[in-house]
């Protein structure tokens, strides 16, 4: 059941990623082109998902918005994973004072409400795409660090690690070639859930107006623009809301499938 769940999640994410990559060819119109005479048109064969208040094609904006949301998720979770692995591996392998200092730093980061910390930093440095990616990544590494540390602590006393130490292997070599490959499964699970969380954070920031700025299409700012006409043009909120739901569902299906496949049989 769980491998099938992961496959369905991969298929769903693959379709969304392909739609975003092929947006220049799939989009029926320019996502930023304004046509006031076509404002708030309902879905039709000419405009698959209707138009917004400025007459922009919602389907085109949705396809281009997939590029923004998925790129934020991938880059942010990639940065968080790199930092988390480095911190967690160093803390778990060296232990002692190194472990205490790094884990206290992680505890301090966890004490701050993540969303409010991101809001404050983005408001200070500006809502550019790269800034948002960096801020989300640098405020979400703590869970991966704790996970990697726990895995390294359970592996560092194994025979193959002791043999590598006796052979004169350096700590970096042992961590890179022996410890991290054996801790890869839980890291992959955390990455899939982290990507869903990063996309939701970016959508929330854009919805609040301090994320991706118009006219660049983002699922979050599309939701924000559609809330004013929710009772008149339902498609302006349903389309980006459904996209966020589907990409989050895909990430969670993959994560649950990987988590189930790593569990030992009963």
Q: In the predicted model, what is the mean pLDDT of residues 27-53?
A: 89
Q: With a threshold of 0.85, does the pTM exceed it?
A: yes
Which tokens is 59 given?
A: 């389907």
148 within some domain: yes
Q: What are the pLDDT digits (tens) for 169-196?
A: 888 888 888 888 888 888 888 899 999 9
Q: What is the pLDDT of residue 176?
A: 86
* Cis amide leading into 215 (omega within 30): yes
What integer best gives the mean pLDDT of the chain? 87
8 within some domain: no
Cα 174 from Cα 171, distance rounded (Å) = 5
Confidence at 261, pLDDT banded by 50, 70, 90:
low
Q: What are the pLDDT digits (tens) for 113-164?
A: 777 778 788 778 877 888 888 888 988 899 899 999 998 988 888 888 888 8
**To 10 degrees, what angle do helices 184-208 and 219-226 make?**
30
241 within some domain: yes
Place of tokens 């942010």: 76
171 within some domain: yes
108 within some domain: yes
Which tokens is 158 given?
A: 């194994």
Domain span including residue 128: 59-262
Q: Which residues contact 224 (CB under 8 A, 6 or more apart)?
A: 206, 207, 208, 209
Domain count, the chain: 1
Q: What is the pLDDT of residue 149?
A: 92
DSSP code string of 27-49: -SS-TT---GGGTTPPP-SSSTT
22 within some domain: no
Count of CA atoms in the C-beta half-sphere (13 A) of 84: 29
User: Pick the residue with more confidence: 105 or 118?
Assistant: 105
For residues 220-247, b (16+ Cβ closer than 10 Å) or e, as one string? bbbbbbbeebeeebebbbbbbeebbeeb
| Domain CATH for 232 | 1.10.3720.10
51 within some domain: no
17 within some domain: no
Name which of 88, 139, 118, 149 is nearest 211 in CA terms. 118
């Amino acid at each position: 059941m769980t491998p099938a769940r992961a496959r369905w999640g991969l298929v769903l994410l693959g379709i969304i990623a392909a739609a975003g990559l092929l947006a220049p060819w799939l989009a029926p119109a320019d996502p930023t082109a304004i046509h006031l005479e076509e404002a708030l048109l309902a879905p039709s064969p000419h405009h698959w998902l209707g138009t917004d208040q400025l007459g922009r094609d919602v389907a085109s904006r949705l396809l281009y918005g997939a590029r923004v949301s998925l790129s934020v998720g991938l880059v942010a979770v990639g940065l968080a994973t790199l930092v988390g692995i480095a911190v967690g591996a160093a803390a778990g392998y060296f232990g002692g004072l190194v472990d205490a200092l790094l884990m206290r730093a992680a505890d301090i980061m966890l004490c701050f409400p993540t969303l409010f910390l991101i809001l404050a930093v983005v408001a200070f440095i500006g809502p550019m795409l790269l800034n948002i990616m960096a801020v989300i990544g640098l405020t979400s590494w703590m869970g991966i660090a704790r996970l990697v540390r726990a895995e390294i602590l359970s592996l560092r006393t194994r025979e193959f690690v002791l043999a590598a130490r006796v052979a004169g292997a350096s700590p970096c070599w042992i961590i890179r070639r022996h410890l991290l490959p054996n801790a890869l499964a839980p890291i992959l699970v955390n990455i899939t859930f982290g990507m869903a969380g990063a996309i939701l954070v970016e959508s929330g920031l854009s919805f609040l107006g301090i994320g991706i700025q118009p006219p660049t299409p983002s699922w979050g700012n599309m939701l924000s623009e559609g809330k004013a006409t929710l009772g008149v043009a339902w498609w302006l909120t349903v389309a980006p809301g459904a996209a966020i739901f589907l990409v989050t569902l895909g990430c969670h299906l993959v994560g649950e499938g990987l988590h189930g496949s790593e569990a030992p049989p009963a």
